[in-house]
Amino acid sequence: MTPFIDWLTATPLSDAIKVHAWAVPVIQTVHILAIAVLMGTVLIVDLRLVGLGGRSQRIGHVARRYLPWFWAAFAVLAVTGALMVIGEPSRELLNPSFWLKMKLLIVALVVTGTFSLLVWNRADHLDDNPRARRIAALLAVGMLLVFVAIIFAGRFIAYTIEN
């Protein structure tokens, strides 16, 4: 890992991020705003699926309206996250909290992808199918819990000592 970290640290992009004092705070701010958008969309869809909000709208309408926002926010998170790793590779890549976050992210992608396929392809039938709605609601709640765990793991990167 050390040769890769040394190489990444020496790249022009890493140097640019380190040289400009405003770069890390701006990248982190955009990252946090994207987290807010992502979590907002997850919460809105989850609340609709469990019947605690937006009952006047069909699940399909809510899903088609907010899932694109979720994936757009996820793309921003991937870019800003990569920039944070490039800017401070040893802080991130040697940190057990970072690797926990990455493992949880893989779980989140699987759960979210499954959820998106289920809801996107069957969204118009979820309102009329209690069993399918329960499965979608369980996936949605699971997705919410995994993303909360990712946020905690990401936050702990700043407080976890390197290996």
Does this model's pTM top 0.85? My answer is: no
How far apart (Å, rounded) are the C-alpha atoms in residues 31 and 151? 11
Considering its fold, how many domains does the chain have in total?
A: 1
Q: Which domain holds residue 129?
A: 2-159
How far apart (Å, rounded) are the C-alpha atoms in residues 114 and 89? 31
From first to last of its 163 residues, what are the pLDDT tens digits of the chain? 788 998 999 999 999 999 999 999 999 999 999 999 999 998 988 888 877 877 788 777 788 888 889 889 999 999 999 999 999 998 899 999 999 999 999 998 888 787 777 766 666 666 677 787 777 788 788 888 999 999 999 999 988 876 5
Length of the chain: 163
